[in-house]
Amino acid sequence: MKLSLLVSICVLGAVACGKPEPKTATAETTAADLAAPEGHDEAGRSKSNADKSDLGKPEATEGAKAQAAADAKSTDNKPTSGDPLAVDASLEAGAVPTIERTPAKELRAKTRGMLEAAMKAAQSAKDVDGAVKMIVARVGKPTWTEKGQRRVWVSAEKTQCHRLVLETDGSLELETQPASEWKMLSALTKQNACTGEIRRGIDSVK
């Protein structure tokens, strides 16, 4: 009887000694260590996976940097809004034709009737060069040529003038204009209809 009681006591003692004690917070362990299993962060993610996700996020791609630089440059190049003098120089130059005048001593005296006859003759021409030859044969060289192609013959009077205009496409127009008539070529440039004179600047458009 005493022997069996002793055996039971030893068995119970062995079971009690082999059972692991629960993990408690000490000076060396923190609440985070207790909350997350070994090898994981506070959110329960694997530390190795978290490190990989951080490495996969670049600070900024080269394309994004280039786009940002282009946007900044385009903003700097925008003209000042509301400025009437902020006129595109290329558009201004394209609107103003180059004028080649025929020397006065090479011009013939002309009347409107002579210009009408020259226009009727030129209407039968097959091309622009043919029309030029027919008009020159009747009334002489053009008063001026614009951009090397558009030709204008002028019969001037005191208060008005008659203009025969041969366009670059071969079309013809005969018109009468006041001697003081100015045609606006651009926001800052105008041309006299009878003399071909071009004036530039703010004062010239008043």
Query: Which position has the higher pLDDT, 195 or 45?
Result: 195
Query: What residues contact 18, with CB distance under 8 A and at least 6 apart?
Result: none
Nearest CA to 198 among 143, 146, 141?
146
Q: Alpha-carbon torsion 82, 87, 88, 91, what sign?
A: positive
| pLDDT at residue 201, rounded to an integer | 77
CA atoms within 13 A on the CB side of 59: 1
| pLDDT at residue 95, rounded to an integer | 72
| pLDDT at residue 91, rounded to an integer | 58
Q: What's the length of the chain?
A: 206
Residue 21 has phi, psi (to 5 degrees) of: -75, 145
**What average pLDDT does the segment 145-163 reach?**
95
Q: Taking a C-beta distance cutoff of 8 angstroms, is the pair 155, 161 a contact?
A: yes
Beta bridge partners of 155: 162
The structure tokens listed for 11 are 């068995």
Q: pLDDT tens digits, residue range 80-108?
A: 445 555 555 555 566 788 999 999 999 99
- Distance from chain centroid for Cα 166: 35
Q: Taking a C-beta distance cutoff of 8 angstroms, is the pair 194, 159 a contact?
A: no
| pLDDT at residue 188, rounded to an integer | 86
Q: What is the pTM of this model?
A: 0.56
Lowest mean pLDDT among 52-66, 100-114, 122-136, 148-162: 52-66
Q: Pairing state of beta strands 198-200 and 182-186?
A: unpaired
**What average pLDDT does the segment 46-66 reach?**
53
Q: What is the mean pLDDT of the chain?
A: 75
Q: pLDDT tens digits, residue range 12-49?
A: 555 444 545 555 444 444 444 444 555 555 554 555 45
How far apart (Å, rounded) are the C-alpha atoms in residues 201 and 25?
88
Res. 179: pLDDT tops 90: yes
